[in-house]
Amino acid sequence: MLLESNFLLLDGRSLSIQDIVRIARRRTKVKISDQAMNLLNKGRKLVQQWSEQETPVYGLNRGVGLNKDRPVIDAYSEYNRNLILSHSIGIGPEVPIEEIRAVMATRLNTLLVGCTGIQPEIAKMYETFLNKEITPILPSRGTVGAADIGILSHIGLAMIGEGEVYYKGERVHVLEAFKKEGIQPITLGPKDGLAIVSSNAFSAGMASLLLYDLSDLIEAADMIYALSLEGLNGNVSPLDESVLKVRPYHGQMKSAKRVRKYLENSYLWDETRPIPLQDPLSFRGGFTVHGAVLDCLEYTNSLLTLQLNSSDDNPCVLVDEKRIVPTSNYEVTTLVLGLEMLGLSLAHVSKNSCFRTIKLANPVFTNLSRFLSPDEERVIAFGTIQKTFSALDAEIRHLSNPVSSDYFAIAGEIEDHATNSAFVVQKLKKIVDNLYYILGIEAIHAAQAVDLRKGIQKGIGTNAVYEVIREHIPFLERDRNLSTDIEKAYQLLKSKKLLNHVRKTMRNHSNDIDITL
């Protein structure tokens, strides 16, 4: 929740995906709650007590991985520093700044759950990094998804004064940023190294931004689908709420409701117009496919929100019970399977959009010109554009293949399970990016088809979609470089300009109805 207009209060319990977006993209500052800081102090006191005992504790007075049997000989500072250095194994390409901020916000909040025993100064360092815009440079590869140790270690490097960071947008050595802000590098103590590297914050932070964008993408897909129905002269009977109530899947009910609103006042509701008895499935059930994504998204959002507000540390410091217990809380198989499910659902969205675009270019289905040409004898129009979205869809099909079960037994074969969580998120990010292009191409076709129908009554929402497209991409009167049009449509979707314009239009039309999810 917001402490003030400029700060987000972090307490380890109430961080939302939207909060991550605020911190990562809007540079919202953060503040650790007093209650969370008190819990960190208690946890640290317990770790200090255990460090003075002879009871073996993983990552505290014993090594990690296969070295779990090797004692840490007193020099806690040297051992934990070496742990950070030896786990810095990531490789490029580098992670964008906004994603790194999402990762740091995620890890800070999970530290505040109070189960790490980390020194509170490290949590304060995360807070300082976010608020002073000191962003450690992170590689994007080098984790197998059994905690992101090979990536998060690079945040630890910065904390101990090693390596480079982005400081207020400029790439500098971390010590230069520290000097300007009056910051001292952290001197690590018992369990600090393991607490820094051993979490799934890298995957969870990136996933937060991605799932936020994915919700917007499906809303925009509903808008474009509605305009395509107008371009086809489609049958809207499948959108009938009474029909949907006899099999009320939650997601498709939401999608259908939005599409009906976008089509309010559209000519499609005129039952006297000549229409086919049934449309191709990609038109008849497009909202059901979008609804499937919404159902998957709702499920995965709930898992991710849990992940953002829980501890995945091993071992786990139980302050109230005064115990430090080995765990497998670093396992994120449930969340990763949800993310992979989303990838599969988006592959269906892609195929449906491609087939709708193919049908819009086919006079057999539209009774319009071939490839939506304004002059079939002189203008080729969209005769070859199908190759572009076919290639993009092929990428999506392969990116949607599960990868969570592809792993080795490593670290002396003691670590014999992993999920490839980061790669799963990165694949999903690429799927979403491809879909911006594919849906953009569908939008170009839909607008052209609407124009060729000459003067039809568009819906409230579909007219808003059409306005944005035509503001940037004119009617195809004669052949031109279509790559330029495709890129413009992609940017309209990715920048959310189309989405925001339609949302504003719908709010102005009916302030008492909220159609967003």
Q: Are 429 and 232 in contact (CB under 8 A)?
A: no
* Side-chain-side CA neighbours of residue 42 (13 Å): 17
Q: Which helix (H) or strand (E) holds 10?
A: strand 7-10
**In angstroms, rounded to a whole number, what is the distance separating the alpha carbons of residues 83 and 62?**
12
Q: Are 46 and 159 in contact (CB under 8 A)?
A: no
How would you class 504 by CB atoms within 10 Å of its CB: exposed for 0-12, middle for 13-18, buried for 19 or more? exposed
Q: What angle do CA 86, 89, 92 make, to 5 degrees?
A: 155
Alpha carbon separation from 90 to 107, 174, 240, 327 (Å, rounded): 18, 18, 52, 25
**In angstroms, rounded to a whole number, what is the distance separating the alpha carbons of residues 343 and 431?**
7
- Number of helices (H) and strands (E) in the chain: give both, helices first: 20, 9
How would you class 488 by CB atoms within 10 Å of its CB: exposed for 0-12, middle for 13-18, buried for 19 or more? middle
**In angstroms, rounded to a whole number, what is the distance separating the alpha carbons of residues 420 and 424?**
6
**In angstroms, rounded to a whole number, what is the distance separating the alpha carbons of residues 6 and 294?**
32
Copy the structure tokens of residue 68.
């779990």
The pLDDT profile of the chain, 517 residues, written as one tens digit per residue, is 555 568 999 999 999 999 999 999 999 999 999 999 999 999 999 888 877 777 776 666 666 666 666 767 666 788 889 889 988 999 999 999 999 999 999 999 999 999 999 999 999 999 999 999 999 999 999 998 888 989 999 999 999 999 999 998 899 999 999 999 999 999 998 889 889 999 999 999 999 999 999 999 999 999 999 999 999 999 999 999 999 999 999 999 999 999 999 999 999 999 899 888 899 999 999 999 999 999 999 999 999 999 999 999 888 899 999 898 888 888 899 999 999 999 999 999 999 999 999 999 999 999 999 999 999 999 999 999 999 999 999 999 999 999 989 888 777 787 778 888 999 999 999 999 999 999 999 999 999 999 999 999 999 999 999 999 999 999 999 999 999 999 999 999 999 999 999 999 999 987 644 444 4
User: What number of other Cβ atoms are within 10 A of residue 329's Cβ?
Assistant: 19
The 3-class secondary structure across 401-451, one letter per residue, is CCCCCCCCCECCCCECCCCCHHHHHHHHHHHHHHHHHHHHHHHHHHHHHHH
Domains (range + CATH), the chain? 7-199 (1.10.275.10), 207-313+329-509 (1.20.200.10)
- CA dihedral 61→63→65→68, nearest 10 degrees, is -70
**In angstroms, rounded to a whole number, what is the distance separating the alpha carbons of residues 13 and 15?**
6
